[in-house]
Chains A and B, each alone.
Chain A
Amino acid sequence: MDESKVRLRALDVFMGLGFLAVGAFVAYDGFIAYYAPQLVTVEKAANPGVSTIFVGSLMSFLGLVIAVIGLLGSRHPFRIAKQAVADTIHSKAFYKGVIAMACIAVYFFVFWDRIPYVVSTFLFLAGMMAVFKAGAWWKIALISGITVAVVWYVFGVLAMIPLP
């Protein structure tokens, strides 16, 4: 098995366990509904917990199977994961990804609803384009300005959406 496949199997172990946990939560939520005193008058077959118990249990089972396949395929998932994380952290693509996510997070969680939409969107566009070296500063400013104007006109004026 090649290196990338082994790494994928190591990731499967963790994702499988993640699905197992999510499935367990879904099934648990189903059991709460199934035994809820408020739903005592509802027929057991129509209880909302029935579907969630079914879906949650199935997800947990499949998650467990994927984790086992991953474990058999990678043998030492923790060691491989440690190596993979170390390699990823040192890659240029990872840094670019983190920076892009950080820019998006700032726009969504810091700017949105706090700074007027037109200003925040212009700052986001210009900032992200500058970070990723889209071109000369005047070009970035021009493209950002035109984009903001179009978005504001289409959504704020034509569609009459109250922009934040």
Chain B
Amino acid sequence: MGFEQIMAEVLKTLNFEFIFLIAAGVFIGLIVGALPGLTTTMGIALLTGITFKFSGHSAIALLMGLYVGGVSGGSLSAILIGIPGTPANASSTLDGFPLAMAGRAAQAITISRMASIIGTLFGIGCLAFLTPLLTELALKFTSAEFFLVGLFGVLISGALTGGDLALKGWIGGIFGLAIGMVGSDELTAWQRMTFGSPELFGGIPFIPIMIGFFGIPQVIEALTDEQDVLVAVLDKTKVKMKEILQYWWVALRSGLIGVAIGIIPGVGEDVASWTSYGVAKKSSKHPEEYGKGSMEGLVAAETADNSCIGGAIIPLLSMGIPGSPPAAVMLGAFLIHGVRPGPMLSFEFPAFTYQAVSWLLVATLFMRFFAMWLAKPMQKILQIKNAILMPIVTVLCAIGAYSLDMRFIDIVLVFFAGLLGMLFKQGKYPAAPLVLGIVLGPLVDTNFRRALKASGGDFSIFFTRPVSLILVVSIVLLILGQLGVFGMIRSWFKKSKPAAA
């Protein structure tokens, strides 16, 4: 497809309808992101259910708008009330809220907004540039590589998001893979783990599980933990461009960190912002200011979590493997709307990557205006009691899940996924690997068996090709690293040195 044809396709999806939907997505995203208790992932899951009657591309454009707005919106509550709207903005609270308490709320919001815009644009640039390259590479992949990429994704996601033990992340991912395998097998039509229920023959639907898993625990937690909210006053300080430009190096480095972490399957914005914050603090000339109201810290956190958006969409479009939990839910939405991400996307919808780039650019533009415009009313919105908000969220969870197929079983799934989500929270099991596991279950399963079938049952197929060998070595190193084997070897060497002396 030539440049002109691609441009024509891009312009087709930049009409009034699309721009309006993207604006609506950003607006909803900013509110969802800003309200503590509602996350971007949950917002996308809810809106997927609501938009299933939209035409494919327009629903995806709306969801991308929500993704951009949601990640950015979380910083509003982080700065104004000291509670991050989404986990991705937790690091912004450390410096954003002290700045607001010092009477610099408007300045902090403007700086964080500019950092968000720089980060998002950086991520979009990488998305436009890297997706075709990665697609080229993915086209050379065989089933063995796809299986290993999927498995590596689940394991690294588990290792990086497991706050307590890496094992918990892994088991969450493996559990997700098992859930993803329920239903009729793609290769033989054999029914697996369906308990003879015809409603499970088609597999466990992804969206109701996501709505329940993310929505219900948040509702319960918010209702049991009602806090008095202290809202910072907005000052009228104007920020000069020079003030923002002095952090260009921090923004650039954080953008790179965000994109790199975004590309890693299932890790996402929160890890990106914490990593970037940590790196910025370590390399800062004034690390003592971090946590007390450092603009540099705020820029580092906000740039990274926003650039992660573009990064997370890169593996989604090129390999069909999402880079973050919101991207994982978006994958479900893509499939519902007839868009199958992966290397074949470049043949089915050759202009899709550039259409996505254009939607994200429009979303960034709206985010710039809405975020400042919403700052004042948000002071009021943030004071809405959870006792009012959460019952409404529950109603949206139910109708969002039900509207996909109009089946009562989806409501049942929302409830039980909610219970599972609460159990995971109590036990400190991360949600991201489970989501990734459910999404990648069919991919891992079918490619594992296809590879074995192609090799006549010979496992050497997983070691003999260069990419698969690299992936196998990475998986082994990852497992050994998380089990502390390298630490044990290092300490053994340290002990043996004095003995030898």
Contacts and interface: CB of A to CB of B under 8 A. Distances in A.
Nearest to A160: B53
B403 A104 contact: no
Contact of A52 (B168, B193, B226): B193
A89 interface: no
Main secondary structure of the interface of B (DSSP, over half): helix
Chain A contact patch, size range: 35 or more
Interface residues of B, number: 62
A42 B452 CA distance: 13
B391 A125 contact: yes
A20 to B, nearest CB: 10
A45 B462 CA distance: 14
Contact of A159 (B50, B165, B187): B50
Contacts of A12: 427
B423 A105 contact: no
Contacts of A151: 395-396, 399
B174 A161 contact: no
Contacts of A38: 190
A15 interface: yes
Given A33-B190, A108-B412, A155-B403, A51 B449 contact: yes
B427 A8 contact: yes
B313 to A, nearest CB: 27
Contacts of A154: 50
A134 to B, nearest CB: 4
B479 to A, nearest CB: 11
A66 interface: yes
Interface in A42-69: 42-48, 50-52, 54-56, 58-59, 62-63, 65-66, 69
B107 to A, nearest CB: 35
Interface in A77-103: 93-94, 96-97, 100-101, 103
Contact of B398 (A63, A112, A133): A112
Interface string B314-349: 000000000000000000000000000000000000
Contacts, number: 172
B17 interface: no
B499 interface: no
Given A45-B449, A66-B165, A100-B224, A159 B53 contact: yes
A21 interface: no
Contacts of A97: 220, 223-224
A48 B178 contact: no
B192 interface: yes
A47 B450 CA distance: 10
A69 B188 contact: no
B427 A15 contact: yes
B185 interface: yes
Given A50-B449, A108-B415, A39 B188 contact: yes
Nearest to A28: B193
B235 interface: no
B223 A100 contact: yes
Contacts of B391: 103, 124-125, 128-129, 132
B190 A36 contact: yes
A49 B334 CA distance: 29
A8 B165 CA distance: 11
B469 interface: no
Nearest to B414: A108
B395 A39 contact: no
Contact of A105 (B165, B415, B429): B415
Contact of A39 (B164, B177, B190): B190
Given A48-B192, A54-B448, A59-B178, A66 B408 contact: no
A100 B193 contact: no
A33 B415 contact: no
Contacts of A108: 398, 411-412, 414-415
Contacts of B453: 43, 45-46
A59 B171 contact: yes
Given A93-B225, A125-B392, A46 B449 contact: yes
A104 B219 contact: yes
Of the candidates B175, B391, B403, the one having the most CB atoms from chain A within 10 angstroms of its own CB is B391
Contacts of B481: none
A50 B448 contact: yes
A146 to B, nearest CB: 10
Interface of B: 50, 53, 164-165, 167-168, 170-171, 174-175, 177-178, 181, 185, 187-188, 190, 192-193, 216, 219-220, 223-226, 385-388, 390-392, 394-396, 398-399, 402-403, 406, 408, 411-412, 414-415, 418, 423, 426-429, 444-445, 448-450, 452-453, 455-457
Given A46-B449, A132-B387, A159-B403, 7 more contacts: A22-B175, A43-B453, A45-B457, A48-B190, A104-B216, A112-B408, A132-B390
> 5 tightest CB-CB pairs across the interface, nearest first?
A45-B452, A132-B387, A134-B387, A48-B185, A128-B391
